[in-house]
């Protein structure tokens, strides 16, 4: 899909400046557009969330987050990307905001992580639906330094491209896998249940809720159950799925999903909570 067509078909829902986007939807990150107020907002977001993740996030994530040390100002993607390339061969590429599914999957399949350039407004301090630079950098980027996670995300991109060729139902099913792992996944560790999903890691409310609340279900990772589970994009999740390790996650998703899609499309979906 071309940039123009994406803008036209997305209507007024798109947030971000697509005028300078290249055909592959990437842009250059212009550090000069960030104001002192933006950096100050970033600092406050970072400081608040850093305190929270220390008690709730997966330890490997915390190690990489600490190494990155993005606490002082909005990060320069080129610096982060250079370090990342040395660690796992992934790169950070700047994008104006949401990009089409196939473009997104193509980038993941080639170990490039699309990172949004804009920062939320002060009044969105606690909550925002779409990914902004804080969600992408704080939530996603640290785990790209984890070897097994990095491999999982690339395999996901390759698998999602294949699902797109099979049709819309397969794409919905593999989209749920992204949602319940990369965005909202939990992991069992020797020190208890921890968060690795970026949607939770970058959320002040959900990080506490996902671990401490007695309300949501926390089900063991189950690929086929996930593929049949509908979700809300604008409220806390129920259920969450809990993986044992990134190695196990890679192993449990390494097979060809083609026959799985064919079987599951005949089965009922687990309805989302009202």
Site residues for Fe ion per CB under 5 A: 131, 198
C-alpha 14/C-alpha 17 separation (Å) is 9
* Tokens 């309805």, located at residue: 271
**Cis previous bond, 139, omega within 30:** no
C-alpha 67/C-alpha 206 separation (Å) is 24
Give bridge partners of residue 194 from the DSSP assignment.
187
Nearest distance in Å: CB 175, Fe ion: 12
Distance spanning both ends of the chain, measured CA to CA? 34
Q: Is 95 near ligand HBI (CB under 6 A)?
A: yes
Q: Is 116 near ligand HBI (CB under 6 A)?
A: yes
Q: Which stretch binds ligand HBI (CB under 6 A): 38-46, 55-63, 91-99, 189-197?
A: 91-99
Nearer to ligand HBI, 104 or 246 (CB): 104
The crossing angle, in degrees rounded to 10, of helices 168-178 and 147-166 is: 160
Nearer to ligand HBI, 102 or 242 (CB): 102
Nearest distance in Å: CB 139, Fe ion: 6
Say which residues have a Cβ less than 8 Å from residue 242's Cβ, sequence separation at least 6.
185, 186, 187, 188, 193, 218, 219, 220, 221
C-alpha 62/C-alpha 82 separation (Å) is 20
C-alpha 204/C-alpha 207 separation (Å) is 6
Residue 186 interface partner, choices ligand HBI, Fe ion, none, CB cut-off 5-8 Å depending on type? none
Residue 178 interface partner, choices Fe ion, ligand HBI, none, CB cut-off 5-8 Å depending on type? ligand HBI
Closest to 199 in 3D by CA, of 235, 245, 161, 229: 235
Q: Is 99 near ligand HBI (CB under 6 A)?
A: yes
Nearer to Fe ion, 130 or 260 (CB): 130
Binding to ligand HBI by CB under 6 A, coded x per residue (else -) over 149-188, reads: --------------------------x--x----------
Nearest distance in Å: CB 268, Fe ion: 28
Structure tokens at 216: 């949501």
Q: Which stretch binds ligand HBI (CB under 6 A): 51-59, 94-102, 142-150, 207-215?
A: 94-102
Give the binding-site size for ligand HBI (rule: CB under 6 A): 10
Q: What residues line the site for ligand HBI (CB under 6 A)?
A: 95, 98-99, 101, 104, 114, 116, 131, 175, 178
């Amino acid at each position: 899909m071309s940039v123009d067509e994406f803008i036209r078909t997305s209507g007024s829902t798109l947030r971000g400046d697509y005028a300078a986007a290249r055909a592959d939807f990437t842009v250059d990150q212009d550090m000069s557009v960030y104001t002192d107020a933006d950096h100050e907002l970033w600092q406050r977001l970072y400081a608040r969330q850093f305190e929270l993740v220390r008690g709730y996030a997966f330890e490997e994530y915390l190690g990489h987050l600490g190494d990155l040390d993005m606490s002082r100002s909005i990060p320069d993607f080129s610096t982060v990307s250079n370090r990342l390339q040395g660690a796992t061969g992934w790169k950070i590429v700047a994008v104006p905001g949401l990009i089409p599914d196939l473009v997104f999957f193509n980038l993941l399949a080639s170990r490039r992580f699309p990172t949004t350039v804009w920062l939320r407004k002060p009044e969105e301090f606690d909550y925002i639906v779409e990914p902004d630079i804080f969600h992408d950098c704080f939530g996603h980027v640290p785990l790209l330094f984890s070897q097994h996670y990095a491999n999982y995300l690339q395999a996901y991109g390759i698998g999602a491209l294949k699902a797109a060729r099979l049709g819309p139902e397969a794409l919905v099913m593999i989209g749920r896998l992204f949602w319940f792992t990369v965005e909202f996944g939990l992991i069992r560790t020797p020190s208890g249940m921890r968060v690795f999903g970026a949607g939770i890691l970058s959320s002040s409310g959900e990080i506490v809720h996902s671990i401490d609340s007695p309300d949501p279900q926390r089900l063991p990772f189950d690929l086929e159950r996930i593929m049949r589970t509908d979700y809300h994009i604008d409220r806390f999740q129920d259920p969450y799925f809990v993986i044992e390790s990134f190695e196990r996650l890679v192993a449990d998703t390494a097979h060809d999903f083609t026959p799985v899609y064919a079987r599951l499309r005949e089965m009922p979906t687990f309805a989302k909570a009202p």
